A and B are shown apart, each in its own frame.
Chain A
Amino acid sequence: MRVLLVASAGGHWIELHRLRAAFVGADCQFVSTSKGMTPPLGDREVLEIADTARDSAWAMAPTLLGLLRVFRAFDPDLVVSTGAAPGALALMIAKMFGARTIWIDSIANSETLSLSGRLVKPFADLRITQWHHLADENPSLRYLGQIL
């Protein structure tokens, strides 16, 4: 099974890194927004795409193009993201390519789900929050624990 894992550099990447054991046995392709990153699993080099703030639609174009190239080359069965905006775009594209999708909202969002996490709802087969009370309030979210 081919799994595409997308996380922006920084906290989102570190959160994904801490969940790496869940993907052992899959063919993993990691994607992030910085250079010089070591893949947490497997020997596929981490691919770099442009970062994007979700402030304007035009600013997202380079990220979108980068992701489309990755999808055409890798054709994943499953796409997983821990955020942020580039990961949300990846889930949207994943649905056009017919892949399964999982969104894992950052542990930083303890009081409300992130905006990306809310926007990604139509494209996510599963959305995971790391806060019990958020899953209690919203039946479309699941709580499986925290990355800490």
Chain B
Amino acid sequence: MILVSVGTQLPFDRLIRAVDGWAVDHGRSDVIAQVGPTRYRPVALKSFAHVAYDVFRDLQKDCRVMVCHAGMGSIITAMEFGKPIIVMPRNHKLGEHRNGHQFATLRQFGDRPGIYPADTEVELRALLERVDDLTAYPTLNTIASDAFVEQLAEIVHRPPKTSKVRQLRHFFAGKRAGEPGSIDIR
């Protein structure tokens, strides 16, 4: 199964159309696509706008290849699971994102093993033509480097110095709000 995804915030029809066109031409029925908020109706892709987070993670685990926008979530997940990932950046000049950070992401990470960058639909199509030959292996464990975690932990666990704002608020509230128990925010 090939899993296509473009994130939940914005449509990315240029990518969806290109993959759909390829799937139609090759009669592929094994392509599932998370297309985000769009009116475009794919012909060959099995598509949905969003899906619950954990369900999506299972799809990522089960797929053979990922085809995605250049979002770090997709790229990190592909590296963790060892899935080949074809990545096309959103072009802000075409209104596909607010700025060009997805191009920057590909400049930083495009040459890692298992990551197959496509700057344009033409390059995307060329990669899809050899999709069954793309390979990858897990290159990341599921946790950040020890150095980062330890330095952050040191800052997080510094003894809290209660601010004046909080001291006053707790004084007037008589007690501290929300002591243990489950929280219902509705």
Contacts and interface: CB of A to CB of B under 8 A. Distances in A.
Asked whether A and B interact, the reply is: yes
A34 B50 CA distance: 10
8 residue pairs, one from A and one from B, having the closest CB atoms: A98-B165, A11-B73, A145-B148, A36-B52, A98-B166, A98-B163, A11-B72, A22-B152
A21 interface: yes
A57 interface: no
A128 to B, nearest CB: 8
11 contacts: A22-B156, A73-B185, A74-B183, A75-B176, A75-B178, A97-B166, A98-B162, A126-B155, A144-B148, A145-B144, A148-B76
Given A75-B178, A99-B166, A144-B151, 11 more contacts: A10-B8, A11-B71, A15-B72, A19-B149, A22-B149, A34-B52, A51-B8, A80-B156, A99-B163, A100-B163, A148-B79
A128 B144 CA distance: 14
A147 B53 contact: no
Contacts of A145: 144-145, 147-148, 151
A74 B143 contact: no
Interface of A: 1, 3, 9-15, 17-26, 29, 34-38, 44-45, 47, 51, 53, 66, 69-70, 72-75, 77-78, 80, 96-100, 102, 106-111, 114-115, 126, 128, 144-148
A14 B140 CA distance: 13
Contacts, number: 153
B64 interface: no
Contacts of B164: 98
A24 B7 CA distance: 29
Nearest to A74: B178
A36 to B, nearest CB: 3
Interface residues of B, number: 54
A86 to B, nearest CB: 12
Contacts of A34: 8, 50, 52-53
B148 A147 contact: yes
Given A1-B157, A73-B178, A74-B178, A148 B144 contact: yes
A108 B105 contact: yes
Given A98-B169, A108-B71, A145-B148, A26 B163 contact: no
